Every structure is written in structure tokens, then in C-alpha cells.
A and B are shown apart, each in its own frame.
Chain A
Amino acid sequence: DAGVTQSPTHLIKTRGQQVTLRCSPKSGHDTVSWYQQALGQGPQFIFQYYEEEERQRGNFPDRFSGHQFPNYSSELNVNALLLGDSALYLCASSFMGQGWADTQYFGPGTRLTVL
């Protein structure tokens, strides 16, 4: 049973560029959440997708956007990259059964470096 997968593993971009990160949820899961983890910090919630719609959003600017596809996979897009966007981006998946989301399982993350 494949767990949560993310691609790419590492990415280097320059300021002002745009980046797309990808996530495939664990088999049987239908909800995907994205987190940003800066060095030495805990993960910060960016947003959550269910049924191809953004359901919740954390305190992140509109430069951060996402998408969920019919197969439940998801993308995180970041426009106009800033140095401060350098971080580990974590994807987590869960199952929205019985009207609430069960435990989130995390992928290995994508390490984004902005130069």
C-alpha cells in the first residue's frame, strides 16, 4: 500500500519565479492538506482540499494556490517566490468519512530553496 508521495524531492528556484509541487495521497484517502515547515519550526497549515475545492486556509498570501484533481492528487503553486518561501513543503492526506477528516498521514516533503 503506497503512502503519500510527493514530487520533486528537492527544488531550487530564484526570486520571482513560480513553482509547482505535487502530491499523491495514500490509497483510500480523499482529502489533501499542505503545510510549510521552515527550518527549525513546526509545520504551518497552508490549505486543505476536499472534493476539488479549497475547504480551509491558513494565514498565507494569495501567492499560494492549489488544486485537487478528480483522482484526489493535488498541486501546490507558489507565484513570485520570495527568499522566505524556502522551506520543506509537506503534503498530508486523510479520509473524509462520516463528515469529518480522519488522521492525516504525511509525505516525505519537497525541499524548496529560493536563491
Chain B
Amino acid sequence: AQSVTQLGSHVSVSEGALVLLRCNYSSSVPPYLFWYVQYPNQGLQLLLKYTTGATLVKGINGFEAEFKKSETSFHLTKPSAHMSDAAEYFCAVSASGGYQKVTFGTGTKLQVIP
């Protein structure tokens, strides 16, 4: 069984400030972890993923996330927020290997204040 908890359904940051979106996961097997972004009335776009290897993962648009097994966390960060980052962000987990059922968190809506 697997689950994801995203802390904070809404996060507001000023333009140029650090973005930190929190995600904790639960998985009975080694997980694959993902962050997706969704703009209004659109599908989901993959930002980054962790499968194996390096625990610091870099993605598109300057985002990165660090897999911390001891804390069961996969927080998403970006050093400097841009207005175009305003969107909803979803953390997701799947079991490594086999058919990939992906379990999503409930999402965090990021607001960027000019």
C-alpha cells in the first residue's frame, strides 16, 4: 500500500522568494516519487522524478527535490519564485517495478505575489 501527504493545500510566496512544497510518503516497497504541475484547465506535466541513485533530483523550470528515506519525505524546492510558477503541484508515489499504479496527494496550490 502507498500514500502521499502534502502539507499545506495553499502556499503563498513573494516573487523571488524560496519555494518549498512539502510531501511525505508511505510505501511498503521501495518507492518511485514524482512531482507534477497542473495549470488551470490543463493536464499534468512532470516536473521531476526519483527512481534510484542520486537522492537530489533536478527537474524542469529550476525545481529540485530531495529524497530522504529516513524522513519519508520528498520536498520540492525552487530558489527563486517566478510569477509563471503559480499553479497546483502534486506529489505522487508508485511502487518500483511492475505495473505502475500512481497514488497522488491532494495537491498544493502555489500563489506567487508580485
In angstroms, Cα B46 to Cα A31, docked, is 17
Known contacts: A99-B97, A105-B46, A106-B45. The answer to whether A42 contacts B102 by CB under 8 A is no
Asked whether any CB of chain B lies closer than 8 Å to the CB of A66, the reply is no
Classify the secondary structure of A's interface with B: strand
Indicate whether A72 reaches chain B with its CB closer than 8 angstroms.
no
A48 touches B99 (CB 8 A): yes
| In the assembled complex, A90 has its CB within 8 A of some CB on chain B | yes
Closest residue of chain A to B9, judged by CB?
Answer: A40
Q: Are B101 and A45 in contact (CB under 8 A)?
A: yes
Q: Collect the chain A residues with CB atoms within 8 Å of residue B42's CB.
A: 108-109
Using A42-B90, A42-B107, A45-B102 as known contacts, say yes or no to A100 and B97 having CB atoms under 8 A apart: yes
Alpha-carbon distance between A108 and B97 when the two chains are bound, in angstroms: 26
Whether A41 contacts B101 by the Cβ 8 Å rule is: no
Contact residues of B between 41 and 83, Cβ < 8 Å to A: 41-46, 49
Is B99 a contact partner of A101 (Cβ separation < 8 A)?
yes
